[in-house]
Amino acid sequence: MDDSLHKAGEDAARHGVALSGCLLLQAANMPDQTREPRRKWRSKLASWRAGWEKETEARLAELERRRLLLRSD
């Protein structure tokens, strides 16, 4: 896993970037344009996505925690 891409995915989610907003999904950054091996590109995309999903899940859990706190008051 690429730690810098994982962190970039987390940062993107923290700033409200949609999953589809990953820069690796832009045409100029895809293997057909960069000539990067597809396996390597997919690995990078998986690292970014894992970071994005981790942060998104954490944010949703925090929202749920706050919702439950408000209900208990």
Residue 73 predicted with pLDDT over 90: no
Q: State the pLDDT at residue 43.
A: 97
> Is 7 exposed, middle or buried, given 0-12, 13-18 or 19+ CB atoms closer than 10 A?
middle
CA 31 centroid distance within chain: 19
| Average pLDDT score, the chain | 95
Q: State the pLDDT at residue 2.
A: 83
**Structural domain spans, the chain:** 3-72
pLDDT digits (tens, 9 = 90+) for 11-32: 999 999 999 999 999 999 999 9
